[in-house]
Amino acid sequence: MSKNDWEYFNCSEDYEVDYVASKFTDSLGAKEKIKELCSNGTISNSTHGEVYQILVNAGYVERWCSYYSMIGCDAEKFKY
């Protein structure tokens, strides 16, 4: 199954960087990490979900469970 253009994270759009970073408890750190990953090409062909997963794998904790990733959620802080 191929990925649609809208599924890809766009490093050149500041609002996308800001939006994804805002989903993490350390949003400033996440924003800097995203910029680093964009500049070195790590996430140049990544979907939004893959970007979330990369950030979670790097140790960033989501503020709440998102559509893209339940793995980075802090279960003790997040209750349904």
Alpha carbon distances (Å) from 71 to 2, 7, 12, 58, 61: 24, 19, 27, 12, 9
Return d(Cα 56, Cα 61) in angstroms, integer.
6
pLDDT at 63: 81
Count up the domains in the chain and report the number.
Answer: 1
Residues 14-70 pLDDT 10s: 999 999 999 999 999 999 999 999 999 999 889 998 999 999 999 998 887 655 455
Residue range(s) defining the domain that contains residue 7: 1-80
Read off the pLDDT band of 72 (50, 70, 90): low
* pLDDT value for 71: 53
Whole-model pTM? 0.76
Apex CA 22: angle with CA 21 and CA 23, to 5°? 90
pLDDT value, residue 7:
85
